[in-house]
Every structure is written in C-alpha cells, then in structure tokens.
Chains A and B, each alone.
Chain A
Amino acid sequence: MNTKTVLRVNGLRKRYGERDVLDGVDLEIAQGECFGLLGPNGAGKTTTLRLVLGQTAPDAGTITLLEEPVPERAREARQRIGVVPQFDNLDPDFTVEENLLVYGRYFGLTQGEIAARIPALMAFAGLTGREHARLNELSGGMKRRLTLVRALVHDPEVVFMDEPTTGLDPQARHLIWERLKRLKSEGKTLILTTHFMEEAERLCTRLAIMDHGRIIAQGAPRELIAEHIEAQVIEVHGPGVEAWLDAAKGMAARVEFAGETAFCYVINEQPLLESLRAQPQLVYLHRPANLEDLFLKLTGRDLRD
C-alpha cells in the first residue's frame, strides 16, 4: 500500500508557566486516515492542534506537516490545509457566498476560481439557494456546515476539526457526520478533536486518547476497546444495590461506582444477569462496552474544568 505520512509529531512539549500542557506527545498520521484526538477538557487537544498548525511554538519536539517543518514553514503547510475551528468565526457582515469569496482569497485564489467552486460547496453544505442569505438568517447547523465548506474552499489535502459537532442537535450532527464520511471516501485526511465518544467511534479509523498532556492510548477504536476493557457492561442502580453488589462482586471482572450507579464490567454476563433477576427492586441496563467506557477507565470519572 502506498500511504504517505501526513503528520509526524515527536516529543512535543509545551509549558505555560509552571504547567506542562503537553508533556511529550508523539503522533503519526497517514494519508486518508480519519484520526481522532480524544481527551477530557484541559488534556492538551487544542494546544496540540495549535502547535501543529504553527500558531504557537513548542518548547521541545519536532512537527512535520505535509513534509513541511512546523513552525518554520507552517504558512506553506497551511496553504494545503483546511481548519474547522471549535467556535464559528464566520464574517457576520458578509453573506454566505461572500464569506467563501473572502476566505478563498486568503489562499491566493482569484474571485473567478472561487466562484466556480461555490455551487459544489453549496450543494455539499446543503445550502444551495442560500448564497445571498445573511448570516443571522442561518441556523446553528447551517453555520457549522458553512464553516466546514469554508475550510474546503481551496480543496485542501488535510482537514483539521476542533470539536466539529459540539452544540449541534442530533439532526445537524448526523448531517455533518455524513459529510465527513464523504470527505473520507474522497481520500481526504481528517484530523479531529472531540469528546463525543459516539462521534469518534463512528468516524475515526484510528484515535489517540490524551490526558494531562500525554497520549495514554492509541489505536483503532474497536481494538482499543478489546485491548483495555471487558466486552460487556451492566449498569445497576436502585435500593440495596450495595448489598447486592457485596454478594455479586465476584461475578464481575471489574466494578466502578459513579454516584448511585454500579458499572459492572464482565466477560461473561450470564451469572450477573441471573442474580439481578432475583432482585426486582434493582434497575439495570446491559450493553456492549463502548469507547466511553474505555475513556472513563483511562481518564477517570472526576470532573475536569
């Protein structure tokens, strides 16, 4: 297979005052991947993105983006990259179409070149017919889609997305996911940060989980779950859950308590389910383990702010 490396990061460190925000990060992302960077708030995801785009200088480590050394030649690298920021920063004084015309110009495209691309971009964003709409006439989902196609205006090889679907309703979110899958099938490399586990599980071919400025796990979503976590989860709550657990604990491979709910991680679920049937006062939910379980196992259940 002829895959080339799009991004290589070695030993990346960044310190703000006394705090190591990044404490030795290594990454390697190949062309055509959809790579997810996961982590709780403050884990260092956004800082990693800013460093990779050359928007701040690392204290140590090297970055090579599309064969360009960053930050030295970040400008040349950014010429071939699209960025979807965490918060929309569209130009509120311009119409939908003007936003694309103005943004494309930053990449050195002529107004004619951009205008020729606009119908396809509008169709991709589901905004056909809205070219002359003012931004305050658009819904949150429409603005997000416009931000996405604005990042595609110069047909980049790599698209970076910082929490692409945060704050969107399910319909809007699914539409964005559909579009990202289409970009993936067109061969674009997608690199996204998220704390939406469902998003990462659906879209990402590979992901890295970050915490406290380090990458603590890396791999394909299903493989990571299989490697780190039991296959089945039974969530139990209700009166007497602790008493029941004292007797049943031996049947679970691992138990975590969050508030009043016991999360029982099991390889063979049958004995626990049997014991639960004899406890009608307990409410339980049996489901396969997912990325969120893995995430919580690796980063803990404490709040991060």
Chain B
Amino acid sequence: MIRPTISRRWIYVWQRNLGVWRKLAIPSVLGNLADPMIGLLGLGYGLGAMLPAVAGGPYVAFLAAGMVASSTMYSASFEAMYSAFSRLQHQKTWEAILNAPLTIDDVILGELIWAGSKAMLSGTAMLGVAAALGLVASPMAMGALPVVVLLGLTFAAIGLVWTALATGYDFFMYYFTLVMTPMGFLSGVFFPVERLPEALQLLAYTLPLYHGVALIRPLLAGQVPTQIVLHGLVLVLYIVIGFCLSLHLARRRIMR
C-alpha cells in the first residue's frame, strides 16, 4: 500500500461536518440520547427490578456501563456509514472537496476524526446521564472518557470500510443487523459475558465492543480495570487496521 498523503487540511473536512451538525445540533443530540436512555430506563429499572444483583450491584448500574459503550458504537457507526455515504454518493461533497487541494486520504482522516468526535459526544452524554441517575461510583468514571474516544474511533474506522464498499444504504442494514446487534449481546452490554457458552466467550474476546465494555464497567463502579493495556491495544489495532483498509478501499473506489 502506498504511503498515505495526509495534510493538516483534513481538519477542514472535520470543520465542514461540524458546521452542518451545528445547524441540527439539538435534534441530533436528543436523538442520540433518547434511544440509549429509553433502553437504560426501561430495561434497567423495569427488568432490573426483577433481577438480583448483577456483578455485585444493581442491574441498572451494570447496564449503564454497557449503554455508554453501545451508544458510542452506534453513534460512530451511523455517522461513518449513513452520513458519510450520503456525502460520498448523494451530495457529492467528497467530490467537491477533492477538486480543492485535498486528497482522499485527507477526506477519510477528517471523516474518521469527525465520526469519532460525534461518538465521543454521545458516549460522554450517556456517562452524564448515568452520573445524574447516581449510577456512577466515583470520579474514577472520568477514566471512561479516553475509552469512549478509542471506541468511537474504532467504530468510525470500521464504518468507513463499509462505506467505501457500499453500493447503497441497504448495504449498511447487513452490518447493523448481522454484526452490531449480535455484538451487543456478545460483548457484555446487557449481561455478563461469563454467562455465554465457552465458544461464544472466545468469539467475544475478538470483538472491539467487548474490550470497550471491559474497560468502562469497572471504571464506572470505581475500580481499576484489569488488563488495561491488552484491551487498549485491541482497540488501537482495530483503529489502525480499519483506517488503513478504508483508505485503500476509498482510493480504489474514487481514484480509479
């Protein structure tokens, strides 16, 4: 693969997306928050009332950590897929940018950081909700913020790979229903991974969301996570591989 030709002009791509987002910020934030909040309140308090302590605490606190991770994942994925694809295909925003002194590499990096930023906002907002509901044990929960950043970039990078391959919006449905939904169940968002059959537990260890949850949950409970370096490295690896692959595929699609 040829060396990336990235300039600091990627930031203009990020700024352009921020400019559009600012016009629609309130409905966008509400939309991003409403879905995980309804899940947290409904499942956490409703279902949780019938459950004994999960992992040594109330179920709603257990679920809150999972929801911080999964809302980060969904936010990054939506932005890197549906929104980025509409800029690539329908609005031809990328085409306009590529007529200026930017390269496709600048565009992909700008989109990656942008989707990561939006995901960070969602994850942080969920964290705030969890804190407001008294589901966070100590200020150590602030340690979840860098994890949210990594997790957002991870799913942004994976999403851009799919965007570079997509033929239409329907294409993303496969990823959402066949990859992300099962990933939520396998990664310990709703119940402890130890409840899974051993083979599925092994599968869970390969999933980026699992490693995000494994870091965020203890931090919200006021504990230092185990194997921080390992979990962090898996996420970084997903980001690097996903970014390189999306660069390669986007170049092949656009610069042909």
Q: Which residues of A contact B24 (CB under 8 A)?
A: 93
Q: Does B122 contact A (CB under 8 A)?
A: no
A46 to chain B, nearest CB (A): 12
B104 to chain A, nearest CB (A): 9
B residues 225-256 touching A (CB-CB < 8 Å): 254-256
Q: Does A83 contact B (CB under 8 A)?
A: yes
| Contacts A55-B255, A56-B255, A105-B12 given; does A93 touch B101 at CB 8 Å | no
A residues 79-116 touching B (CB-CB < 8 Å): 79, 83, 85, 87, 89-94, 98, 102-103, 105-108
Q: Does A53 contact B (CB under 8 A)?
A: yes
Q: How far is the CA of A205 from the CA of B14 in the complex (A)?
A: 41
| Contacts A56-B255, A57-B255, A106-B9 given; does A91 touch B20 at CB 8 Å | yes
Interface size for B (C-beta < 8 A) is 25
Q: Does B28 contact A (CB under 8 A)?
A: no
Question: Which of B90-98, B127-135, B193-201, B203-211 binds A?
Answer: B90-98
Q: Which residues of A contact B101 (CB under 8 A)?
A: 75-76, 78-79, 106-108
Q: Does B139 contact A (CB under 8 A)?
A: no
Name A91's contact: one of B16, B98, B99 (CB within 8 Å).
B16
Q: How far is the CA of A103 from the CA of B16 in the complex (A)?
A: 9
| Contacts A56-B255, A89-B91, A91-B91 given; does A108 touch B9 at CB 8 Å | yes
Q: Interface size class for chain A?
A: 20 to 34
Q: Does B23 contact A (CB under 8 A)?
A: yes
Assess the A94–B102 pair: CB atoms within 8 A: no
Assess the A85–B12 pair: CB atoms within 8 A: no
For B16, the closest partner residue in chain A by CB is: A102
Q: What 1/0 mask marks residues of chain A from 24 to 56 whose CB sits below 8 Å from any chain B CB?
A: 000000000000000000000000000001011
A1 to chain B, nearest CB (A): 30
19 residue pairs of the A-B complex, CB under 8 angstroms, read A53-B99, A55-B98, A75-B7, A75-B101, A75-B103, A78-B101, A85-B96, A89-B96, A91-B16, A91-B20, A91-B91, A91-B96, A92-B91, A93-B23, A93-B24, A102-B12, A102-B19, A105-B16, A106-B100
